[in-house]
Structures are given as structure tokens and as C-alpha cells.
Amino acid sequence: MGFFSGLKNLFSKNKDADSYLSGLKKTRSSFLEKLKKFSLGFSGVDEAFLEELLIILLESDVGITTATKIINELESRCHKLNIKNYADTIDCLIAIIREIYGENVNLNDQDDFTIILMIGVNGAGKTTTTAKLAYKYKNEGRKVLLAAADTFRAGAVKQLAIWAEKIGVDCIEGNDNEDPSSVIVKAIREAKAHGHNMLIIDSAGRLQNKVNLMNELSKMNKVIYKEANKEADEVLLLIDATTGQNGISQAQLFNESCKISGIVLSKLDGSSKGGIIIAIKDILQVPVKLIGLGEKKEDLKQFDIDAYLYSIFDGIINE
């Protein structure tokens, strides 16, 4: 059984299969379009093929370091295994990408009082994802409290408060220009007083190169530690999938001021360049834990590398 057949088998049992297929439609058709020309007149894994494949990987935001690693491994493996036809070459390519990514890592959300902090640049999807997570955990029977700690952007607190009302969860609303750390303190005290077992903190958008704003993040982390006697269970960095390679430097710089535990890749439905997932994991060793596949509250899915690869490569190999 080829590697891709194994993925297909796993995919048929995945409850999010339809969402993956429709959410990754753009990435898939862009990939199919580009790889299609290889299937006709394929003459083996030669220099011209590898060069063109490298370009396709770069165009999909895999990044030069990771793309080169994939290409080198493909060349040596196809040579070693004497792979000569198109289908086996693509099968081998998918297996290599899967190996480079590694295993799926679930959200660390089992604590009796779970704290999740959302961070990221402006407009990346923090507030929407906070709401989507609140919806998910409410459905799982958790008592959810949201902390609207974006006191910086006008209307940001209201935006989350409206979501909270729609979903039916509690929300601590910061006042305009209030220190976000003070909103966090209030929220942790509220959660402890009223038995909330899931606190999700939405924070203001910040550029990764603005030192003061990045320092504010470390302060927020310290306050969490002081009030809750533990670090946040998850510090999730939101990256907009349409951002491109800048997402890598965002992840690098955010990780320096505030240890990130996972990435949420938002707006994957609007992007044809899902390759950034592989690059981030390979370069920073930070796993992608969630993906955003739309604007609605149910459009957040747990990231699954097998489902992701299947959805991107579906239709490329005729089995």
C-alpha cells in the first residue's frame, strides 16, 4: 500500500473530512494545477523536475530551508528506491513532508482551570478564534470565561462581548486603555470565584518589532503566573495564512518574548499557500494546533497533518 493510500484510509475516518476538503480547496487547486504538467511526459526525478518542484514548494510558502530539505531527501530516496514513475515520486514526496512535519500535538486543555492566551499581529484572527474556541469548549461542557483584554483598539472589547453573548458564555470586559494585565487579574479572580474551568484571553494586535508591545506580553504572562499559580496552559500565536513568509519571522519574534505553545493558522480557506505550516514546524519546532477555515463559530478545526496532506494532494495521484 502506498503512503497516500494510508492517508486516504485515515481521512475516511476523520470527522472533519468535509471541512478540510472544502477549506483547503484553494491550496489544492493551486497545487493540482502546478503539478499536473509533471504527470504528462514525466521522465524521472531529474534536475529539471527537482528545480520546478522547488519553485512550486516556494510558491506555496514552504520556505527555502524546508523546501531544499524536501527536495534533497526526495532526490536521494527516489534514487535509492529506484523510483521512476510519477505516482510513486509524488507518493514519496508526500511521505517526506509528513516525516518532516512530525506528529500532531493536541491542545493542552485538560487542566481543571485551563488558561489560553491568544496573541498575534493586527487582524490575524485572535478575537474570532477566541470566540470559536469558546463555542467548541462550551459544546464540550466546559464553563467558559472570556477576557476581553484588547483595551487598545476602539471597539475590540465590544467585538468579543458580542460574540460571548451570541455563544452564551461569560466575558470580562476591559475598559478603554485599561492595562491588559489588570483585565487578566480580574478575569482569573472571576473564574476562581464562579467556577469557570476554561479561561480564554483575547489580546490586542501588535507588530512583532515593537519592543514595548512585546514587553507587555511578558508582563501579561507574569501576571497570569502570579494570579493563577501557573503559566498559561496554551499561548497560541495567530498567523494569517495569507501573510506569506513574514509569518515565520512573526513566529520567531513572538516566541522570543513569550514562549509560544502552538500556532493557529487562520484564513486557510482564503489562501492557496498552506505550505507555511510545514516551514514553521520545521524551523521553529512549534506545532500547528488549530486551523481557521472560515469566519463562522464552527469554522475552527484541530490541525491534523494527515488530513491536511490528504486534502491538499487529493486528486494528484490516480489510484
Ligand X SMILES: Nc1nc2c(ncn2[C@@H]2O[C@H](COP(=O)(O)OP(=O)(O)OP(=O)(O)O)[C@@H](O)[C@H]2O)c(=O)[nH]1
CA distance 38 to 93: 13
H helices within 140-275, ranges in order?
156-167, 180-194, 211-228, 246-257
Phi, psi (5° rounding) for residue 150?
-90, 85
Phi, psi (5° rounding) for residue 315?
100, -10
Contact with Mg ion (CB under 5 A) among 30, 66, 127, 250: 127
Contact with ligand X (CB under 6 A) among 10, 59, 100, 123: 123
In the complex with ligand X, the residue whose CB is nearer, 70 or 236, is 236
Binding mask 259-298 for ligand X (x = CB under 6 A): -------xx-xx---------------------xxxx---
126 binds ligand X (CB under 6 A): yes
Strands of the chain (E only): list them: 114-120, 144-148, 170-173, 198-202, 234-240, 262-266, 288-292, 300-302
Q: Which does 72 bind (CB under 5 to 8 A by kind): Mg ion, ligand X, none?
A: none
Distance of CA 112 to the CA centre of its chain: 25
Residue pair 201/187 in contact (Cβ under 8 Å)? The answer is yes
Q: How far is the CB of 147 from ligand X (least distance, A)?
A: 13
In the complex with ligand X, the residue whose CB is nearer, 197 or 255, is 255
CA distance 312 to 132: 24
In the complex with Mg ion, the residue whose CB is nearer, 60 or 128, is 128
Binding mask 144-163 for ligand X (x = CB under 6 A): ------x--x--x-------
Distance of CA 146 to the CA centre of its chain: 21
CA distance 44 to 318: 18
In the complex with ligand X, the residue whose CB is nearer, 63 or 292, is 292
Contact with ligand X (CB under 6 A) among 60, 128, 151, 208: 128
Residues binding Mg ion: number (CB under 5 A): 2
Q: How far is the CB of 150 from Mg ion (least distance, A)?
A: 5
In the complex with ligand X, the residue whose CB is nearer, 133 or 278, is 133
Residues that bind ligand X (CB under 6 A): 120, 122-128, 150, 153, 156, 205, 238, 266-267, 269-270, 292-295, 299
